[in-house]
Structure 1
Amino acid sequence: MAHWYMLLMCSVLVFCTAVRSALPADVAIISSSDILPYTTCREGIQEYLAEYTITATTINEDISKGREALEDIKREKPKVVIAIGPQAAFALAQEPALGNSRLFCMILNPQRVLAKAGLFSGVSLNIPPDMQMRTIKQAFANRKRVGIFYSKDPNQEIVDALTRAATAYDLVVVPLPIGSAQEIPGLLSSRETPFDVLLIIPDEKLGSTKIVEYLIKESLRRNLPVVGYNSWFAKNGAVLSFIIDYRGIGRQTGAIARRMLNGSLLDTVTVVPPEHVKISIDVKTAEKIGVAVSPDILKQADEVQR
């Protein structure tokens, strides 16, 4: 009897699994590629929405492939479609019929990236300007001038926002617009560097590792602390680094998706910054260049290198 009961239970389990896999997905995820930040973000989404049926597709940064994938997704009629990364989001932006069932995540400056295709709601990679300036003030209490090298066309709005945020903390942003990376040595060659802290922001003119390494080296040679925007900087000489939690972005996106699945559709386009940004402090580098880091920021830091 026990033997037949076990067979019956196994049959029921197989049947339920088959029915579940045959059901249309509640959520469809389309990823730009399988790089680690995107897969980590996707895992965060899947963890947060574990009770829902989810499908996942990767388009290998091919927007045309993304359009093809979205044709299949539309036939499945999921309640929410999530794009991870710019290529997937660009393809999804061209599907206005999906309306407010769309979400994006893992995009820097989405208002600019998706401007032509059509902006929709999601979670950006932009670290809030207020957080950056507040943390710089807390870390380097005796320093006031924050230098920023940047390309004027794509990043002027970002620098303007940082400039506004700085005033609340008695800081002054020293904007250093450049047309090319070749202009940087000239701006650094003066006897008196016009800033006390160098904040490096994501910028196409500073996209080369060689250029960023040069900036860090020259700043440290002048005993100036560098502030970076990811874990690479934390390992390569930045005294202060902001590190975005990609799994956290996935969970944050998942939380928005869950509200949508429960019937709270987004009536207006809403773009929010990442909620989970870690702070890394390199005390060893700070001591080497004679820069004092406040004890308060060391207590707040998620990571302290000594």
Structure 2
Amino acid sequence: MKYIRKPNIFIFLTLFLCVVVRGALLPASFYGAEFVTESYQIVLFVSKNIRPYVEAVDGLRDQLDKSIDADVEVIMLDRYTEKARADLADRVIGDSDVDLVAAIGPEAAAFVWETFQDAAFSRIYSIILNPEKVIGQIESVPGISLNIPPAEQLHVIHRGLSSVTRIGIFYDPAYNSDFYAKALEATFEIDVDLVPLSVSSKKDIPFLLEECWDSIDCVWLIPDRTVISESIAQYIIKQAVLKKVPVVGYNQFFYDSGAAMAFVFDYEDLGRQSAGLITDVLQQKASGARAPVFKVWLNETVLEKLDIEIPKPIELPMMVGP
């Protein structure tokens, strides 16, 4: 009579544990997969140590901390002499670990584009008005300007000041003929007329302003070297309020001076937007120029004086200002 030996349960458990432990200790590549977190080296050049740029840097770093693993070196360019800048450039070029160089402000962008033309790392710019005048061709260059598209501004004006149908725009053709042309094209999409208030000298403004009141019901002030100064802007706003005509400006100064509406930037928001662009460039998801994020403040006090109702509901980026 044959006896069948019962299997030793201890031996089976031992073999099972050996297999499990060995599997846990094997590298991920053994299974055909690599679980590696990419780490990036970023050098951030900043034009000046001033509040808007510092706020942008804070927003940028905060957003990058949430999105990618990146070591960010911040360099305030205004602290460096020409000789020190040259040494700095040599150090950055010689660092093979650098993945991307970013520039905040026009001076930083000019330095980065002139100094690192043939570098292996990527470049982006941010917080520059008319970047094409700083770095040249921008269509395929990743960056964020301070230029809100004219058509987008016009649509916002139309929504926020719906009773306005004739918008007078002060501009010098030498600087803003393209802006005017794009804004004019956008008027065909909405029920407004754009009235050109073309000037070549600040001396022309008081006379032109006095002549235009019968033909406009809104004044639109845009960044323009000839037209805009603090005194001229305040003069235009004061005269417009007396005529019960709303003024649209483009920063907090205009809002504080009595503009009915103002396009404003939150520089921390711009920094966060820049961080998003950096992430996309590093991960090869997107490139090219992007319009800036912005807010639109409605001046409730001024609108009440002009007997203009605030639209309801208010849609972002529009809001009642502080």
TM-score scaled to structure 1, two decimals? Answer: 0.82
Partner of 1:56: 74
Q: CA deviation at 1:30?
A: 0.3
Partner of 2:3: none
> Is the aligned partner of 1:284 residue 2:301?
yes
**Alpha-carbon distance between aligned partners in 1 of 2:160 and 2:40, rounded to the nearest angstrom:** 47
| Contact residue 140 and residue 289 of structure 2 kept, 8 A | no
Q: CA deviation at 1:262?
A: 2.6
1:83/1:156 CA distance change after superposition, 3 Å:
same
Q: CA deviation at 1:277?
A: 1.2
1:99/1:195 CA distance change after superposition, 3 Å:
farther
Code of the aligned partner of 1:136:
I
1:63/1:208 CA distance change after superposition, 3 Å:
farther
Partner of 1:34: 49
**Alpha-carbon distance between aligned partners in 2 of 1:198 and 1:291, rounded to the nearest angstrom:** 15
Q: CA deviation at 1:194?
A: 2.6
Partner of 1:242: 263
Partner of 1:257: 278
Return the match for 2:90 from 68, 71, 83.
71
**Alpha-carbon distance between aligned partners in 1 of 2:79 and 2:171, rounded to the nearest angstrom:** 26
Q: After superposition, where does 1:1-306 map in structure 2 within 5 Å?
A: 26-50=41-65, 51-60=69-78, 64=82, 68-77=87-96, 78-94=98-114, 95-98=116-119, 101-115=122-136, 120-190=141-211, 192-264=213-285, 266=287, 270-274=288-292, 276-297=293-314, 301-304=318-321
1:219/1:113 CA distance change after superposition, 3 Å:
farther
Q: CA deviation at 1:223?
A: 0.8
The unaligned stretches of length 5 or more in structure 1 are 1-23
**1:83-132 Cα shifts (integer Å, max 9, x gaps):** 00111101111121136700000001112332289983200111122321
| Contact residue 63 and residue 91 of structure 1 kept, 8 A | no
Q: CA deviation at 1:147?
A: 1.2
Code of the aligned partner of 1:43:
D
| Contact residue 132 and residue 138 of structure 2 kept, 8 A | no
**Alpha-carbon distance between aligned partners in 2 of 1:238 and 1:163, rounded to the nearest angstrom:** 22
1:262/1:213 CA distance change after superposition, 3 Å:
same
Code of the aligned partner of 2:145:
S
**1:228-261 Cα shifts (integer Å, max 9, x gaps):** 1112222220111111221111111111211222
Same amino acid, percent of matched pairs:
27
**Alpha-carbon distance between aligned partners in 1 of 2:120 and 2:235, rounded to the nearest angstrom:** 46
1:265/1:179 CA distance change after superposition, 3 Å:
same
**Alpha-carbon distance between aligned partners in 2 of 1:200 and 1:41, rounded to the nearest angstrom:** 25
Code of the aligned partner of 1:57:
I
1:69/1:196 CA distance change after superposition, 3 Å:
farther
Code of the aligned partner of 2:179:
I
| Contact residue 147 and residue 173 of structure 1 kept, 8 A | yes
Code of the aligned partner of 1:157:
D
**Alpha-carbon distance between aligned partners in 2 of 1:30 and 1:300, rounded to the nearest angstrom:** 29
**Alpha-carbon distance between aligned partners in 2 of 1:127 and 1:100, rounded to the nearest angstrom:** 28
**Alpha-carbon distance between aligned partners in 2 of 1:157 and 1:63, rounded to the nearest angstrom:** 37
SS in 2 for 1:296: coil
Tell me which stretches of 4 or more aligned residues in structure 1 moved more than 6 Å: 116-119
Q: CA deviation at 1:222?
A: 1.2
1:225/1:66 CA distance change after superposition, 3 Å:
farther
SS in 1 for 2:147: coil
Q: Once superposed, what is the RMSD of the aligned Cα atoms? A: 2.6
Code of the aligned partner of 1:178:
V
Q: CA deviation at 1:212?
A: 0.9
